Homo-oligomer: A and B are copies of this chain.
Amino acid sequence: MKIFDEKGIKMLTYDFTNVEGALYKHLYKCIKADINSGKLGINEKMPSKRTLAKNLGISTITVENAYDQLMGEGYIYAIPKKGYYVSEISQMVNIKKPVLIQHDIKEPDLETEKIYDFSSNYTNPENFPFSIWAKLMRENMSYNKSELLKVPSYRGVLLLREAIAGHLASFRGMNVEPAQIIVGAGTEYLYELLIKLFGKDKIYCVENPGYKKIAQIYNSNGIECRYANMDEKGVCVDELSMVKADIAHISPTHHFPTGITMPVSRRYEILAWANKEEGRYIIEDDYDSEFRLNGRPVPTLQSIDACGRVIYMNTFSKSLTPAIRISYMVLPGHLAEHFYEKLSFYSCTVPTFEQYTLAEFIKQGYFEKHINRMRLYYVRKRQKILECINSCFDESECKVIENDSGLHFLLEFSTKLKDRDLEKRLMDKKIRLNALTSFYHTPYFEDRHQFILNYSNIDMEGLNEALSTVKMMLRGKYK
């Protein structure tokens, strides 16, 4: 076997016995290894394809494929009519075999700890209308193929927006055009679109107390949002003025965590506030308005807004399941146009498969039926829970504070424990029950010990035991 050929070019010799897979890959790997190790030096001429093939007893095509691969990856280069040469890959020499820097990356999926969770706002899987959903999905995939694969408008699929407009008209008395509606993968995502729409120089204001995630999202977008205090009618208009808010982000229908429904008088006050200065807007988060359990729903701010100051926002997370990740917002006409100019290059974030299925679900009346069924389910569940509470606690130690709406209410305990202390002690017993005070941004005075009971997904079987544990805790029976 020759080491150099007749032209003085180093001949390459590799073992081709027992090669698994394509021969050219084997050859490619061998040459690459020789380049990496320095056996083949920078700018060294490679043997011609034919010579190498002959020497190794393989076909010229095999050598050609290997050389092509090496060229493609930059290990060798060609000079027309002269031949192939080894590239200068100076940076390669000292790179070690890649090792992943080992950090402790938590995989929370694997958490299996069982907690009795009064704070979960998830829905109960048993209530999801799987058979209808599967049927509609199947029909879409059979008869609607080309629409399903079309990239929809940045606003979302038109059919879905029409269905939502119809639902809002019949359910909330709102008169909106499909072109005002933007569909997105969750309200969190929609908040961020609004931040881009309004800009970061605006002053955003959220409710105090309030749903913490909203403030987190503003913060992680580099906005330090401000806080407006609540009274018994909802957010105080004076507070909005005081913090110089441009954008008020509120949930007037059913405030979380207090459960307050903003009365009409306050609604008009807040609309008046928004109209007082150019550039002021209200984000109305109507997240669980479907579950007003008694009486007629209160009209939305959007529906009594005469001047285009309200962005209405809602989600199917509560009314269907958070797993489908579909939310939407309704923009006033001029903002819808502004959105088009500024942000329509963003693709809609919801898969068309889900959008068309949901559109049919609404249009064919299944959504209304589902809501009605769920409302009855929640009324009964709530009733049972209230009975459990009443039979567990003395009237003097636990008072239920509920209004007619939504999927949570408040428990007011008489206890000498501090709220944080009670929360922590309950967590030690694997019970998660959050104090109202933990949703305050500002320091608060713990005059009343109110705790939030989200009941949409609590397990009725473990309820009595969990409540007994709370009672024992209140009575100081546990340390």
Contacts and interface: CB of A to CB of B under 8 A. Distances in A.
A376 to B, nearest CB: 18
A185 B130 CA distance: 23
Interface string A150-175: 11110000100000000000000001
A478 interface: no
A307 B101 contact: yes
A213 B347 CA distance: 10
A293 B65 CA distance: 13
B333 A349 contact: no
Given A98-B305, A105-B337, A185-B185, 5 more contacts: A74-B267, A100-B177, A104-B337, A125-B145, A325-B349
A266 interface: yes
Contact of A98 (B178, B222, B304): B304
B134 A141 contact: yes
Contact of A265 (B89, B152, B153): B89
A176 B134 CA distance: 34
A404 B69 CA distance: 11
Given A150-B323, A151-B323, A268-B89, A102 B186 contact: no
Nearest to A193: B220
B134 A138 contact: yes
A247 interface: no
A348 B343 CA distance: 22
Nearest to A133: B141
Contacts of A192: 192
B109 A303 contact: no
B346 A268 contact: no
B268 A92 contact: yes
> In the complex, which of the residues A213, A222, A404 has the most CB atoms of chain B within 10 Å of its own CB atom?
A222
A366 interface: no
A393 interface: no
A343 B216 CA distance: 9
A50 interface: no
Given A109-B153, A343-B220, A351-B325, A175 B74 contact: no
Identical chains bound together, number? 2
Nearest to A71: B263
Given A179-B106, A347-B186, A353-B323, A128 B149 contact: yes
A188 interface: yes
A277 interface: no
Contacts of A65: 295
Given A73-B264, A158-B107, A334-B101, A221 B196 contact: yes
Contacts of A340: 105-106
Nearest to A331: B105
B322 A74 contact: no
Most buried by B among A105, A130, A404: A105
A28 interface: yes
Contacts of A97: 306
A33 to B, nearest CB: 13
A119 interface: no
11 contacts: A72-B298, A91-B268, A92-B265, A100-B332, A101-B308, A101-B333, A105-B340, A108-B344, A130-B145, A138-B138, A323-B351
